[in-house]
Structure 1
Amino acid sequence: LSYVFCFIRHIAGLNAGRARSIMEWKEKNGPFLNREQLKLVKGLGPKSFQQCAGFIRINPETVRRYTADSYHFYSYMFLHQTAGKKKVKGSGSTSNQFNPLDQTCIHPESYSIALRFLSQIAGSLDQMGSAALRQSIESSVKSRGLEVLAKSLDTTPETLQLIVDGLTQPPDISTDNLDDFKREIVSMNDLHDGMVLTGRVTNTALFGAFVDIGVGRSGLIPKRFITLEKLPVDQRRRSLALGPGERVEVQVMNVDLQRNRITLDLIRVLK
């Protein structure tokens, strides 16, 4: 509980009070089944939701366990697209169905664009992260160009690139493998400039990638440090090249204890 609390309190749009409310809601109602349920949390208004939603991902494995067996999960996920409205403890009501886009870096405000893009290339949500969908997307981008595609969807190339990243990256958001972290490094006080660590990418944004290095606070690799020569060849066409769940080796550039910030430099992507 303490690790999760320490992590989410620093997400954009959240603070200690809202993070505590999120944890209390989860304790009372069970795991969040979709991002929309965040709106039921006391003290988390529209502006806070807009800021934090893209950084909070719903793990389908958690939903699968919560719904007891895979049959109910997959029917819940794919077949009941227009059903399943129920009251959820909190305030008001919201859909209780899992949305596959909730496990990606795609912001809810861009879901309609993502669905229209999938329709353009004859793709579907259940293909996310697959080689087939990746090939279809790459073929479309190569033949029409990112800017032309973005214009046809009434969005920006930057937003469309993030959508492409979210649809093509394998949906692995697990950060449970403790072997990723040095056992003697447990807090920010243990860090120093120049230290080399391994970790897992937890979130990406236009300005960089957040990496869990096992100290209760994710570090940020600024976009300027994510350069082509540090990346595998097959990842050089993405907007940020890094996706949730990917293991990376990083170097600590700066530790700001007062502002609770960690700046990292990418050394390489680990396989």
Structure 2
Amino acid sequence: MTTQQDIPGRTVYIVSDGTGITAEALARSVLSQFNLTFSRIHIPFVDTLDKVRQAKDQIQAEREKTGQLPIVFSTLVIPELVTELRKADALHLDVIQTFVEPLRAELGISPKEEIGLSHQNMESLEYKKRIEAINFTLEHDDGQSNRNLEDADVILVGVSRSGKTPTSLYLAMQYGLKVANYPLIPEDFERGHMPKALQPYKNKLFGLTIQPERLAEVRNERRPNSRYAALDNCRYEISEAEGMMNLENIRYLSSTSKSIEEIATAILSNLRSY
């Protein structure tokens, strides 16, 4: 009987006519369902026949070297390139074609089959909004500025190292949201209320908390053996921060076991329902 330990790891090729972000995201999500070792090789900007032939030859060489079918996630949109890539002996998972063909049949029209349509219109309002959001978020990281807080879509609060900065940047980059974030510090706990600058914007506040043990681990990576990273101090800060957020009726969630994507989705859901 074959066991999981008997199954060798596989090489996964992520081939795209652009950056490969879409294919990478799908590959990561799908492959996470299998408890195996995967070696991922990215081949971006495959937008000509010469480039796709090079990719095909590389994949075919892997097949001949290992005797196993390489796994290929691709987002090529030009049929001629797709056909050429498929000449490699591999398991081909065409991210775009899987959806384009059923839509072609249902809608009764042909797709444009042009490279880079999803990344065009760099001067569009949406793109400008995202750049403005990133600039705003960087300016308002870690309580650096109180300017224009009325323009913030959301203001994240929580103790230091609870995940505010990466979550803020993710929301700005992916969703074009202007996000400020503020650390809650011992002085705030002594005063018993949120920083004065935030009080007019309570409807925009969202809190992040974290398990004290995890917080101590994270802080020890930054300041080993410090009071800042001591477990008893982490427990104190988390207890005080959660107590303050409960008292002031601020929505919050724990970042302990959640990815940035999960945290951002939860925040977006809360914003829409508020």
Q: TM-score, normalised by structure 2?
A: 0.29
Computing the radius of gyration from Cα coordinates, the structure with the larger value is 2
Q: TM-score, normalised by structure 1?
A: 0.29
